[in-house]
Amino acid sequence: MRLGVIGYGERIRHMIGEIIKLHPAAHVAAIVDIRQDVIREERLRNGEDNVSYFASADEMLQSGKIDAVLIGTRCSLHTTMALKVMKKGLPLFMEKPVATTPEDLHLLKQGYEQTKSGVIVSFPLRLTSLVQLVKEIVDSGKLGTIEHVQAVNNVPYGNVYFQNWYRDEQETQGLFLQKATHDFDYINAVVGLRPTVVSAMVSKQIFKGDKPAGLKCVDCEENRTCLESTAFSDEATQKAWPYCCFAVDTGNEDSGSALVRYESGMHLSYSQNFFARRGAAARGARFLGYKGTVEFDFYTGIVKVFMHHTDRIETYELSASNDHFGGDKALAQNFIDMVTGGAPSLSTLDDGLMSAFMCLAAKRSSETGVFQSLDWSNKLV
């Protein structure tokens, strides 16, 4: 399996590693990346010298040297590169979000409707053992039909969105697209319903200030007292999170909430926060039916079922894993099966398009104070 990579970033490297573990015959055959000289030197040091490097995605796709493609570029290029790959009909693995603007979203939808490419979107949470167990419980009917969902994501590493390149809001287009896209997707997968309307609100109360644009922690006079300072951290941390998060150019909201109505009339309340720390970390949801409720949290690995009309409480404890509770492994196996045997995607571009639509609509609602329809005729302009 000859893999072509557009954007050889950290996340895609991890997924390639998962693919090769499961299918040792797979290998990186071609790379397109603006850092190709650095990448070439690094791979040579590791004894990996059997890669062709191309100046553009078009050249790589025309080379005939690849069987499948993985896209790991910055978010704003996901749509552009995916459209190029889909025109060639090659199997595609692409990072989320699948689009960062309403215009790209509709272009990608049109392109997908005309392609023969199989596409897997990097949504590992829907395939985790936790979410799969919750879906099994919901689908069993023991809770009754799900009539309300309460979800939360309190991110303990939220400084990443204010102290490195993620602070560029023109690139990220806000944190619904960067984080909620995963949560909306797994919730959609569990309830199996189509979302129809979204409203949202965001706040920026903590990570703001009057420090100069581009200020780095090492150059700040307050770096010994600032709780977010990385000036005295190890070299890797300083390199990963170099910037002041209390400067005029931090970008991104630091909390946000959304309400989503689904086709049955039930609704979801979702909230995310980026200044919670340590024990305040939480990521999971409650799915409530008339007969019972199931709840889970990714950080604890615990699933609980509360039966509403008896004293019974069921508790499941799943072993923690550093690959999204098995989600990454499942994505990798699905990609292998798609490339080698034409298996259907378990995390489709349709799923990715709907999640991105929800996030972009939530962003638009937070800007206008207006409920946004999730009908595809809504261009979000």
The pLDDT tens digits of the residues spanning 79-138 come to 999 999 999 999 999 999 999 999 999 999 999 999 989 999 999 999 999 999 999 999
Helix, strand or coil for residue 123?
coil
Rounded-to-integer distance, Cα 101 and Cα 112, Å: 16
**C-alpha dist (Å) from residue 147 to 134, 227, 267:** 15, 41, 7
pLDDT tens readout for residues 229-247: 999 999 999 999 999 999 9
Contact 103, 360 (CB under 8 A): no
The model's pTM is 0.96
Q: What is the mean pLDDT of residues 344-360?
A: 98
Tell me what pLDDT residue 49 has.
79
Rounded-to-integer distance, Cα 176 and Cα 172, Å: 9
Tell me what pLDDT residue 47 has.
83
Stretch(es) of the chain classified as CATH 3.40.50.720: 2-124+327-348
Q: Can you identify the CATH homologous superfamily of domain 126-323+357-373? A: Dihydrodipicolinate Reductase; domain 2 (3.30.360.10)
Q: Name the helix (H) or strand (E) containing 57.
A: helix 57-62
pLDDT tens readout for residues 329-339: 999 999 999 99
Written as one string, the DSSP assignment of 321-366 is -TTTTTHHHHHHHHHHHHHHH-PPPSS-HHHHHHHHHHHHHHHHHH
Mean pLDDT over all residues of the chain?
Answer: 96
Please count the CA atoms within 13 angstroms of the CA of 296 that sit on its side-chain side: 25
Contact 246, 207 (CB under 8 A): yes
pLDDT tens readout for residues 138-155: 999 999 999 999 999 999
Q: What is the mean pLDDT of residues 293-306?
A: 97
Tell me what pLDDT residue 320 has.
63
Tell me what pLDDT residue 375 has.
97
User: Across-strand partners of 261?
Assistant: 197, 267
The residue among 93, 151, 142 whose CA lies nearest residue 117 is 93
User: Across-strand partners of 270?
Assistant: 151, 258
Counting Cβ atoms within 10 Å, is residue 323 exposed (0-12), middle (13-18) or buried (19+)? Answer: middle
% of the chain surpassing 70 pLDDT? 99
Rounded-to-integer distance, Cα 143 and Cα 141, Å: 5
180-217: b (≥16 Cβ within 10 Å) or e: bbbbbbbbbbbbebebebbbbebeeebbbeebeeebbb
Stretch(es) of the chain classified as CATH 3.30.360.10: 126-323+357-373
Please tell us whether the domain made up of 2-124+327-348 is placed in CATH 3.40.250.10: no
Give the count of beta carbons closer than 10 Å to the beta carbon of residue 91: 24
Q: At what angle do helices 10-22 and 327-341 cross, to 10 degrees?
A: 70
**Residue 335 Cα to chain centre, angstroms:** 17
